[in-house]
Amino acid sequence: MSNRHTIILIQSSHNRATRTFMDFESVTQAMDGICALYERKLKELNPAIRNFSYDIADLYNFMDGLADMSALVYDHSIHAYMPHDRQWIKQRTLRHLKKFAH
């Protein structure tokens, strides 16, 4: 699944104008992109702090604070994108970050 084109759909508030998307060449890159999005938000909120550390609960709180979040992952076998919800994204992000912990 890691080499499948992935589109992350995000709506940051209940205002429909905040809808946006990010696209990536793989699920792995998408999980990196979500972490980078959170890290940019931390820098925006704390411009004087140079180095950040956070745990998975912090990242999950960020994701839960979004009005909507989902993923579309291309499935070559059916030539279509399969939708995945916020919970799937959380599970994939945790699995992805665990690789760095070892």
Residue 17: exposure state from Cβ atoms within 10 A (0-12, 13-18, ≥19): exposed
Single pTM value for the model: 0.89
The pLDDT value recorded for residue 2 is: 58
21 in any annotated domain = yes
pLDDT at residue 31 greater than cutoff 60: yes
Cβ proximity of 96 and 28 under 8 Å: yes
Looking at per-residue pLDDT, the higher value among 55 and 52 belongs to 55
Percent of the chain with pLDDT over 70: 97
Q: What are 75's two structure tokens?
A: 């499935």
78 in any annotated domain = yes
1 in any annotated domain = no
Residue range of the domain that includes 15:
6-101
Write the CATH number for 10: 3.30.2260.10
Partners of 84 in beta bridges? 71
- Please state the domain count of the chain: 1
Those residues whose C-beta lies under 8 Å from the C-beta of residue 2, and which sit 6 or more positions away, are 26, 27, 28
- Residues 86-102: tens digit of each pLDDT: 999 999 999 998 887 76
